[in-house]
């Protein structure tokens, strides 16, 4: 069964490019971005791993760790890592799970029940420090993932966890946000003393809280 938003991300122990890895121990109290690949030496995934390696400092700045998964063994991953560094100009600087027995892929519902192979293993999970799944995405094999969007989602989740706001379409860090409908105008006066703009009674925008 596929994981749904709010579910607890399952713990697991699996081999990786950094040796045996127990997921909860590795994650600690960080946010986690787990993204999966159907096999090693695939062209789109090669570019994705290079991009994530370059963006790792941006994830770390948000208190987030990144971890990849591919369904081939660790020794194959190490060979692929050399290709990634050569072609993408970035060294693999985060663990790549070796899900050779499909244990994690099955546990997280990454393989469609009707699939004859692992081509459906193109999933992304954002997991919070309480090990709750906060975002799930599944991409087709032909479409490279947008990791800037995942950074944007983490920014939004962290902001909205701490303030009674939501983020509008295409929101970026620093832009105006929406006061959630459960906050009355009276409560909003205390929470947002600088005032807000009421477009409709249910749509009130305010400067992003600090």
Establish whether 45 is a catalytic residue. Answer: yes
Per-residue pLDDT, 112: 65
Q: Is 56 helix (H, G, I), strand (E, B) or coil?
A: helix
Task: Please list the alpha-helical segments (H only) found in 68-204.
Answer: 74-88, 103-107, 147-162, 185-191
Assign 181 a pLDDT band (cuts: 50, 70, 90): very high
Q: Domain boundaries in the chain?
A: 13-145, 163-206
Catalytic residue among 45, 66, 127, 150: 45
- Per DSSP, the chain holds a count of helices (H) and strands (E) of 6, 11
Lowest mean pLDDT across 2-16, 118-132, 170-184: 118-132
How far apart CA 121 and CA 85 sit, in angstroms, is: 23
Give residue 117's pLDDT.
58
Helix 147-162 with 43-61: angle, nearest 10 deg: 30
Q: Is a pLDDT exceeding 60 seen at residue 99?
A: yes
Q: Which pTM value belongs to this model?
A: 0.93
Per CATH, the number for 13-145 is 3.40.30.10
DSSP category for residue 200: E
Averaged pLDDT, 138-146: 92
pLDDT for 199: 98
Quickly name the fold that domain 163-206 has.
Antioxidant, Horf6; Chain A, domain 2 (3.30.1020)
35 φ, ψ (degrees, to nearest 5): -135, 140
pLDDT at 1: 56
193 DSSP assignment: T
Identify the three-state secondary structure at position 160. helix
DSSP-based three-state secondary structure for 102: coil
Q: Confidence class of residue 30 from pLDDT cuts 50, 70 and 90?
A: very high
């Amino acid at each position: 069964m596929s994981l749904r938003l709010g579910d607890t991300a399952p713990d697991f122990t699996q081999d990786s490019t950094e040796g045996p890895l127990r997921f909860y121990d590795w994650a600690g109290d960080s946010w986690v971005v787990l993204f999966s690949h159907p096999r090693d030496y695939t062209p789109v995934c090669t570019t994705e791993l290079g991009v994530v390696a370059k963006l790792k400092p941006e994830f770390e700045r948000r208190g987030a760790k990144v971890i990849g998964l591919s369904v081939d063994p660790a020794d194959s991953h190490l060979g692929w890592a050399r290709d990634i560094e050569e072609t993408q100009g970035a060294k693999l600087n985060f663990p790549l799970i070796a899900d050779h027995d499909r244990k994690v892929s099955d546990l997280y519902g990454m393989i469609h029940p009707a699939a004859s192979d692992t081509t459906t293993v193109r999933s992304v999970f954002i997991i919070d420090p309480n090990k709750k799944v906060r975002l799930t995405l599944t991409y087709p094999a032909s479409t490279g993932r947008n990791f800037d969007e995942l950074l944007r989602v983490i920014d939004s989740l962290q902001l909205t966890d701490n303030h009674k706001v939501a983020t509008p379409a295409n929101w970026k860090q620093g832009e105006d946000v929406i006061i959630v409908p459960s906050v009355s105008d009276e409560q909003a006066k205390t929470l947002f003393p600088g005032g807000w703009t009421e477009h409709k009674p249910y749509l009130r925008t305010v400067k992003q809280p600090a």
